[in-house]
Structure 1
Amino acid sequence: MRVSGSDLRLLQVFDAVVRNGGFAAAEPELNVGSSTISNHMAALEQRLGFTLCHRGRGGFRLTERGQAVWDASRQLDKALQDFTADVAAVRGELRGELRIGVLDAIWTDPANRLADVIAEFGRVAPQVRLVLGQERPQDMQQKVADGLYHCAIGSHRDRVEGIEYDALYEERHSLYCGRMHPDFDTPDDALTDARLAALPFVHRGYWREEDSLRSVDWRIEATVYQIEPQMILIRSGRFIGLLPDHYARAAVAAGELRAIRPDEIGYVCTFELFSPSGRRTSDITAAFVETVRRVWREETVAVAA
């Protein structure tokens, strides 16, 4: 199938339908009615030769082939965005799209300078459109290596081939319980490893750093994949769990959380800038990476002074 201009329009309609979860839900974004969207989808399916989705009383659902086409169409859209940026660079302009991956629950960390970087980059490249996507740590590096993100800022356990790493700052995690927890007022010296091992623990499913705390055999009774739902479970009083200290600070000050044996239990994550290595990057990506390095370097110099 050789992709034409009309095919790109059909794929744009298909993408909007998938992201919004149905024909009717995609109407506001596409600014057309359901019947027109249906005609576009039928034309795309006829062009491809197979069914992309099921729609009816059971709701909207992609077929296996539909999922594969949607994944491919997203890759195509990103390639077109990168082409636009490359052509602009030939003209000596920084214009196009920059896709950045980030982790959740980072804005409360004073050591995270991403907002300062974005402000500075806006002065360097005001015509670049930014796309920030929240990702899990184990997915972020591979998506940079695959080109889904131009770069990312996060932490990791294992390095991935094709990624260049720049260490930026450290984030400490400690063990917390909520005000309604039975041991909220229990002194630290009474919260022995054996006692902690008997308490329900909420585990972050993508992160295994708590496994390094071998003195405690955690009783995992809840699993989350973002920090905010973990905070909710801990504040409920049913669970203990590890949280970033900066994220918990306000709740601690308000008397809603307490740290448990903070001098003994916890770990430190190193946050790094992930950018592609071994292949050419766009001028936009190079400018952003340089901005990150410059802003963090200036902060390091200021702290040292």
Structure 2
Amino acid sequence: MRVSGSDLRLLTVFDAVVRNGGFAAAETELNISQSTISNHMTALEQRLGFTLCQRGRGGFRLTEKGRATYESARQLEKALQDFTADVASVRGELKGELRIGILDAIASDPANRLAEVVAEFGQIAPQVKLVLVQERPQDMQQKVADGLYHCAIGSYRNRIEGIEYDRLYEERHSLYCSRSHPAFSTSDAELTDARLAALPFVHRGYWRDEDSLRQIDWRVEATVYQIEPQLILIRSGRYIGLLPDHYVRQEVGAGELRAIRPSEIGYVCTFELLSPKNRRTSDIAQAFIDTVRAVWGREGPAFRVLSDRSASAATWSEPARR
């Protein structure tokens, strides 16, 4: 199948339908009627030779082939955006889209200087459209390697091939409980490993057991995949869990949370800039990467490229990554 301009228009409709979860929901974004959307989808299915989605009283649902086509369409869209940016670079312009992945719960960290980077990059490339995506830790590295993101800022113990890692800063995590938890009014001396092991613990599902359970045999009774829901569960008074210190500084100051044995239990995450190693970097992406390095390089330790090497910064018992 050779993709034509009309195919791209049909794929744009398909993309909007999938992102909005159905024809009716995509109506407002596309500014066309449901019947027209349906006609476009039928035309695309005829062009491809298979059914993309099930629609009807049971609701909208992608078929297996529909899911595969959607992923390919996303790759095509990113490639077209990168082509547009490359052509602009040939003309001497920084224009196009820059896609950046980040982890959750980082805005409150004074060591995170991404806002400063964005401000400076805006002076260098005011016409570039930024797409900043909060991504799951387990997905971000591969998406940088695959080119879905031009770069990302995150924390990982395990490296993958094809990624270059630039050390930026560190983030400390400690074990916390809320005011309504029985451990809140118990001294650290009384909260032995054995007592802590008996308390319900909220676990981040992307941690491997051999890492996150290294020091204490935690009694895992809840699982989350982001830090905000983890904080909610700890606030409930039912669970203890590990959180970034900066993220809960205000609640600790207000007496709503307390750290348990902070000098003994916790870990340090090393945050790094992730960028493709073996693929040509666009002028836009390189300008952003250079800005990150310049901003973080002004203070503190000199930059150190970790390219595909495992470097643990753990100082207590836990893995040195989110």
Answering whether residue 156 of structure 2 is matched by residue 163 of structure 1, we say no
| Residue of structure 2 in register with 1:269 after alignment | 269
What's the offset of the Cα at 1:255? 1.6
Task: Please give the alpha-carbon distance, in whole angstroms, between the structure 2 residues aligned to 1:162 and 1:81.
Answer: 22
SS at match of 1:281: coil
SS at match of 1:292: helix
| Residue of structure 2 in register with 1:123 after alignment | 123
SS at match of 1:211: helix
Q: How many equivalent pairs are there?
A: 302
Relative to its length, the structure with more helix (as a share) is: 1
1:96-245 to structure 2, matched below 5 A, reads 96-208=96-208, 211=211, 214-245=214-245
TM-score relative to the length of structure 1: 0.96
Q: Is residue 172–residue 244 contact of structure 1 (8 Å, CA) maintained in 2?
A: yes
Task: Please give the alpha-carbon distance, in whole angstroms, between the structure 2 residues aligned to 1:123 and 1:24.
Answer: 40
What's the offset of the Cα at 1:183? 1.6
Output the amino acid matched with 1:143.
Answer: K
| Residue of structure 2 in register with 1:23 after alignment | 23
Task: Please give the alpha-carbon distance, in whole angstroms, between the structure 2 residues aligned to 1:212 and 1:178.
Answer: 21
SS at match of 1:19: helix
Output the amino acid matched with 1:12.
Answer: T
SS at match of 1:3: coil
| Residue of structure 2 in register with 1:72 after alignment | 72
Answering whether residue 87 of structure 2 is matched by residue 92 of structure 1, we say no
Question: CA deviation digits over 1:106-158, x for unaligned, max 9?
Answer: 00000000010001000000000000111122211111110010000001021
| Residue of structure 1 in register with 2:297 after alignment | 297
Task: Please give the alpha-carbon distance, in whole angstroms, between the structure 2 residues aligned to 1:208 and 1:92.
Answer: 46
Q: Is residue 213–residue 265 contact of structure 1 (8 Å, CA) maintained in 2?
A: no
SS at match of 1:189: coil
Output the amino acid matched with 2:171.
Answer: E
Task: Please give the alpha-carbon distance, in whole angstroms, between the structure 2 residues aligned to 1:199 and 1:68.
Answer: 43
Task: Please give the alpha-carbon distance, in whole angstroms, between the structure 1 residues aligned to 2:119 and 2:76.
Answer: 29
Output the amino acid matched with 1:81.
Answer: Q
Q: 1:20 to 1:212 in 2, by over 3 A?
A: closer
| Residue of structure 1 in register with 2:307 after alignment | none
Q: 1:106 to 1:274 in 2, by over 3 A?
A: same
Q: 1:131 to 1:209 in 2, by over 3 A?
A: farther
SS at match of 2:100: strand
What's the offset of the Cα at 1:210? 8.3
| Residue of structure 1 in register with 2:38 after alignment | 38
RMSD value, Cα: 1.4
Task: Please give the alpha-carbon distance, in whole angstroms, between the structure 1 residues aligned to 2:112 and 2:208.
Answer: 22
TM-score relative to the length of structure 2: 0.91
Question: CA deviation digits over 1:176-219, x for unaligned, max 9?
Answer: 01111122111111101000000000000112488356331000
Task: Please give the alpha-carbon distance, in whole angstroms, between the structure 2 residues aligned to 1:57 and 1:241.
Answer: 43
Q: 1:78 to 1:108 in 2, by over 3 A?
A: same
SS at match of 2:15: helix
Output the amino acid matched with 1:89.
Answer: S
Task: Please give the alpha-carbon distance, in whole angstroms, between the structure 2 residues aligned to 1:95 and 1:300.
Answer: 32
Larger displacement relative to structure 2 (160-169 or 201-210): 201-210
Output the amino acid matched with 2:185.
Answer: D
Divergent runs of 4+, >6 A: none
Q: 1:166 to 1:213 in 2, by over 3 A?
A: same
Task: Please give the alpha-carbon distance, in whole angstroms, between the structure 2 residues aligned to 1:279 and 1:37.
Answer: 37
What's the offset of the Cα at 1:294? 0.3
What's the offset of the Cα at 1:92? 0.3
Q: 1:95 to 1:209 in 2, by over 3 A?
A: farther
Q: Is residue 138–residue 156 contact of structure 1 (8 Å, CA) maintained in 2?
A: no
SS at match of 1:183: helix
Task: Please give the alpha-carbon distance, in whole angstroms, between the structure 1 residues aligned to 2:124 and 2:196.
Answer: 51
What's the offset of the Cα at 1:9? 0.5
SS at match of 1:89: helix
Q: Is residue 209–residue 267 contact of structure 1 (8 Å, CA) maintained in 2?
A: no
SS at match of 2:300: helix
| Residue of structure 1 in register with 2:281 after alignment | 281
